[in-house]
Amino acid sequence: DTAVSQTPKYLVTQMGNDKSIKCEQNLGHDTMYWYKQDSKKFLKIMFSYNNKELIINETVPNRFSPKSPDKAHLNLHINSLELGDSAVYFCASSQWRGSEQFFGPGTRLTVL
Amino acid sequence: KNEVEQSPQNLTAQEGEFITINCSYSVGISALHWLQQHPGGGIVSLFMLSSGKKKHGRLIATINIQEKHSSLHITASHPRDSAVYICAVRSPMDSNYQLIWGAGTKLIIKP
C-alpha cells in the first residue's frame, strides 16, 4: 500500500489556468506538508497542516492555497498559474510536527 | 538563521568504495535528517538523529553536536546507491519545527 500518494504525477497546463494537486496519506499521521522543488533542486516548504490547522505558511503567493478536508488529505490549489510555478511539488506527512517525514512521489507541474 | 552546508556537491566513485557525505550547520539543532532522492525523483527518509550514530544496512549516520557536523557513510557502495543525498536540520528555537534544507550531494557510483 502506498503510504503517501499524490495525483496527478504530471500536470501540463497553460498560463492563467487554475489547477489542483491532491495528496493522501494512509499512515495516520497528524501533520502534512507541501514542498516545491525548483530547477536547482532546492526543497522549499510551502505549507504545513497539523490537525487541520495551518501551522506554517511561508511567503508563497496567495494564488496557492492548501485545503485539508480531513487529517488524511492535504490538497494544493493554484490559481492563475504562472511560468515560474513550473516545478516538482512534493507532499509529505509526519506523525507529529518535527518527526520523520514521509514523502509522496511528487507532481511535476509544467506551465506553458 | 541556521545555514546548512553539504560537501561535496558532487561525488563520483567506483563500486565498492567507502563513501562519506558531510553536513555542517551553523546553530544548535534539535534533530538532523538525512534523505535520499532517487534519479526518478522519489524522496526517502534515511535517518533522523539528534546524537551519536545510527546504522541501517550499509548506511551509517553520525552526528557531532559540539562540532555541528554530521556525516553519512555508505559502505561497499553500489550503482543503485546513485542518488542525491540531502541533509536537513530542525532548530529547537522554531516553534513550527520547520526543517532547514541543505542543497544536496549528488552521488554517482560507477560499476
Q: Calculate mean pLDDT across residues B55-77.
A: 96
Q: Read off the pLDDT band of B2 (50, 70, 90).
A: low
Q: Which of residues 10-29 of B touch A (CB under 8 A)?
A: none
Q: Give me the percent of chain A exceeding a pLDDT of 90.
A: 68
- DSSP-derived secondary structure letter, B78: -
State the cell numbers at B85: 543525498
| Residue B79 confidence (pLDDT) above 90 | yes
Q: What is the pLDDT of residue A1?
A: 63
| Residue B95 confidence (pLDDT) above 70 | no
Q: Read off the pLDDT band of A81 (50, 70, 90).
A: very high
Across A54-72, b (16+ Cβ under 10 Å) vs e yields ebbeeebeeebebebeebe
User: Which has more pLDDT, B93 or A79?
Assistant: A79
User: Which has more pLDDT, A89 or B2?
Assistant: A89
Q: What is the pLDDT of residue A40?
A: 73
Q: What is the pLDDT of residue B1?
A: 65
B87 to chain A, minimum CA–CA distance in Å? 11
Q: Read off the pLDDT band of A99 (50, 70, 90).
A: confident
* 8 A C-beta contact, residue B70 and residue B32: yes
Q: What is the pLDDT of residue B28?
A: 82
Q: Calculate mean pLDDT across residues B38-61.
A: 92
Q: What is the pLDDT of residue A26?
A: 95
* 8 A C-beta contact, residue A45 and residue A58: yes
A101: nearest CB among B30, B37, B45: B45
Tell if the CB–CB gap between B41 and A42 is shorter than 8 Å.
Answer: no
Q: What is the pLDDT of residue B39?
A: 84
- Please, which contacts does A66-71 make with residues 24 or more away whose CB atoms are closer than 8 Å? A66/A34, A68/A32, A71/A29, A71/A30
Of B43, B86, B89, which to mutate for an interface test with A (greatest number of A Cβ within 10 Å)? B43
